[in-house]
Amino acid sequence: MKITFLGHACLAIEVAGKNILVDPFITGNELAKNIDVHTLKADYVLITHAHQDHILDVETIVKNTGATIVSNYEIVMHYGAKNFKGHPMNHGGAWQFDFGKVTYTHAVHTSSFPDGSYGGNPGGFIIETTEGNIYIAGDTALTMDMKLIPLQTKLDLAVLPIGDNFTMGTDAAALASDFVQCNKVLGYHFDTFGYIEIDHDKAKKVFADKDKELILLEIGSSISI
């Protein structure tokens, strides 16, 4: 499984011969100006919640690729009304896709669309594949529900928000990595706006002090698990 960081909370995942994009927000992100949204491949677009900084480029990408939108019921209905195809889920539910099993997890956050319309309740995703298992937390606070995840899944990587203010910061994210029992963390949702700018070395040290690894990727670069 190859995971490419496309800035903010946007990830491109290649697994089992499929391309998955998560929370595309590229054209609104000055830091991601070297990423061309029109060259991105997608069989699926996973959306954690309806906030602008997670959905801005969904329609462009789905029009270009014909990808299937996977998200909560309300978000899939919103795009369904615009004739985009989707697969609706809700919290705690899992579905076996052709690349692996996806579970929609609980997140403590909000989820309105930019026009204020209802975007369901926010979530995250567990993706279990023959190439490894990852948890993408979405925008969330630290929550006790994270402790349920290792009861069901052995994770190889946790993707956690670390920018603070709108989500967990690094201290809470380090606790979250304890809760999900995963020592390898990819940080996201940081540096995009003034409210979420972080000190990278300080953030890495919070994890290193617990014998954990915090990976902070340059936009456009990748890791493999």
Residues that bind Mn ion (CB under 5 A): 53, 139
In the DSSP assignment, the letter for residue 35 is S
Nearest to Ni ion of 139, 164 (CB atom): 139
Minimum gap (Å) between residue 163 Cβ and Mn ion = 9
* CA–CA separation, 49 and 14 (whole Å): 21
| Amino acid residing at 79 | Y
Nearest to Mn ion of 1, 11 (CB atom): 11
The answer for residues whose C-beta is within 8 angstroms of residue 90's C-beta and 6 or more apart is 72, 73, 104, 120
Alpha-carbon dihedral sign for residues 79, 85, 88, 93:
negative
In the stretch 152-191, what mask flags binding to Ni ion with x, by CB under 5 A?
A: ----------------------------------------
* CA–CA separation, 40 and 162 (whole Å): 25
The dihedrals phi and psi of 70, each to the nearest 5 degrees, come to: -120, 120
Nearest to Mn ion of 53, 74 (CB atom): 53
Pick out residues in 28-67 that bind Ni ion (CB under 5 A): 51
Nearest to Ni ion of 100, 122 (CB atom): 122
Rule CB under 5 A: is residue 139 a binding residue for Ni ion?
yes
Minimum gap (Å) between residue 164 Cβ and Mn ion = 12
Q: How many other C-beta atoms lie within 10 A of the C-beta of residue 115?
A: 7
Minimum gap (Å) between residue 51 Cβ and Ni ion = 4
Query: Which spans of this chain sit near Ni ion (rule: CB under 5 A)?
Result: 51, 139
